[in-house]
Chain A
Amino acid sequence: KAGVTQTPRYLIKTRGQQVTLSCSPISGHRSVSWYQQTPGQGLQFLFEYFSETQRNKGNFPGRFSGRQFSNSRSEMNVSTLELGDSALYLCASSPGVGGASTDTQYFGPGTRLTVL
Chain B
Amino acid sequence: AQSVTQPDIHITVSEGASLELRCNYSYGATPYLFWYVQSPGQGLQLLLKYFSGDTLVQGIKGFEAEFKRSQSSFNLRKPSVHWSDAAEYFCAVSLLRTDKLIFGTGTRLQVFP
Q: Which residues of A contact B (CB under 8 A)?
A: 4, 31, 33, 35, 42-45, 48, 50, 55-56, 58, 90, 92, 94, 96, 98-110
Contacts and interface: CB of A to CB of B under 8 A. Distances in A.
B83 interface: no
B104 to A, nearest CB: 8
Nearest to B93: A100
Contacts of A99: 94-99
B44 A107 contact: yes
16 contacts: A31-B99, A33-B100, A33-B101, A43-B101, A48-B98, A90-B44, A92-B99, A96-B99, A100-B32, A100-B34, A100-B99, A101-B32, A103-B99, A104-B46, A107-B43, A107-B44
Interface of B: 32, 34, 36, 41-46, 49, 51, 90, 92, 94-106
Given A42-B105, A101-B51, A48 B100 contact: yes
B38 to A, nearest CB: 8
B64 to A, nearest CB: 18
A94 B32 CA distance: 16
A94 to B, nearest CB: 6
B97 A98 contact: yes
A42 B82 CA distance: 26
B101 A100 contact: yes
A56 B98 contact: yes
B100 A43 contact: no
Given A43-B90, A45-B102, A104-B49, 8 more contacts: A56-B98, A99-B96, A100-B34, A100-B98, A101-B94, A101-B96, A101-B97, A106-B46
A107 B38 CA distance: 10
Given A43-B90, A100-B34, A105 B43 contact: no
Contact of B43 (A50, A94, A101, A108): A108
A43 B89 CA distance: 12
